[in-house]
A = this chain, B = another copy of it.
Amino acid sequence: MTAESSDRRRRTPEQRRARADRILDAAAELVGRWGYDKTTLDDVSRHAHVAKGTIYLHWKSREALFTALLRRERVLMLEAVRLCTAGRAEPVGGLVRRLALEMLRRPLLKALLLGDGEVLGALLRHKRTSPEAAEAMSTAFAAYLGVLREHGLVRSDLTPAEQQNVMATAFYGFFHAPALPDPFHLDMERRADLLAETVQRTLGSGHPVTPESAAQVAEATARYLDRALEIARRKLEESL
């Protein structure tokens, strides 16, 4: 063994993070299979090939571990949206549609947003979204809408509170409303399109994105996603 051999117990931050990710991978796998309530830390440690005590070197409690898992999912989702929209200049509805679809694509976020008790169990009841983060997200979105309004793409006769309520209500309805019976049934993809259209028509001014405003719209979108990502990443770091 050399002087700086891997035999040394001291771990680099990268190694720590890689192991945390392996543990979270195992947790994600097991929650997807058995649900939160039935997933024990012994299961997770076995799947991740670490001792249970090691988990407590990363998180102070079981809940903290799964909180971190959800936060990592959120970061990954936002990164995916960030990639999709890179450089594009879409109206509000387009952004909303991508957000909705990327959320639906990820089982844990989908379960979280659908309020699926089978998957998330007690986590749903006890977990509270931190007010600071929620407000920061709202503020970032409001700023995004503000830029679009300056370019005449968003109505100027709605207060920020009204805009946020429209967004919240539309999203909530989209995720939670039960599917309609057969003659009216639509799959989630089509419903996401309708959600986008609803938001676009309710919040938008009706004017299309002009070539002149395209650059600024693209920048505002990127800026919003960056801010959201920053908040999401910060929250994830808090969870180690």
| Chain A residues proximal to chain B, CB less than 8 Å | 131, 134-135, 138, 160-162, 164-166, 168-174, 176-178, 180-181, 183-186, 190-191, 194-195, 197-198, 201-202, 206
Most chain-B Cβ atoms within 10 A of its Cβ — which of A162, A165, A176, A190? A165
Give chain B residues whose Cβ lies under 8 Å from the Cβ of A181: 131, 134-135
Instruction: Provide a sorted-by-A list of 9 A–B residue pairs whose CB atoms are within 8 angstroms.
Output: A161-B180, A168-B173, A168-B180, A169-B170, A169-B195, A170-B198, A172-B172, A198-B198, A198-B202
Contacts of A165 in B (CB 8 A): 180, 184, 186, 190-191, 194
Shortest CB–CB separation between residue A177 and chain B, in angstroms? 4
Most buried by B among A169, A183, A185, A201: A169
Copies in the complex: 2
The answer, among B135, B166, B178, for a CB contact under 8 Å with A183, is B135
List of B residues within 8 angstroms of A162 by Cβ = 186, 190, 194
Further contacts, 4 of them, CB under 8 A, given A138-B183, A173-B177: A169-B174, A169-B195, A172-B176, A201-B201
The 8 A-B pairs at the shortest CB distance, nearest first, are namely A173-B173, A172-B177, A169-B173, A201-B201, A161-B184, A164-B184, A172-B173, A198-B202
Q: A183-B135, A198-B198 are in contact. Are A168 and B177 (CB under 8 A)?
A: yes
In the complex, what distance in Å separates the CA atom of A186 from the CA atom of B163? 11
A177 to B164, CA, bound (A): 12
Most central of A184, A186, A201, A206 by chain B CB within 10 Å:
A184
Residues on B with C-beta less than 8 A from A197 are 202
- Our pick among B160, B185, B191 for the contact of A169 (Cβ within 8 Å) is B191
> Are B186 and A161 touching (Cβ within 8 A)?
yes
Question: How close is A114's CB to chain B, nearest CB, in angstroms?
Answer: 12
- Complex-state Cα separation, A171 to B191, whole angstroms: 15
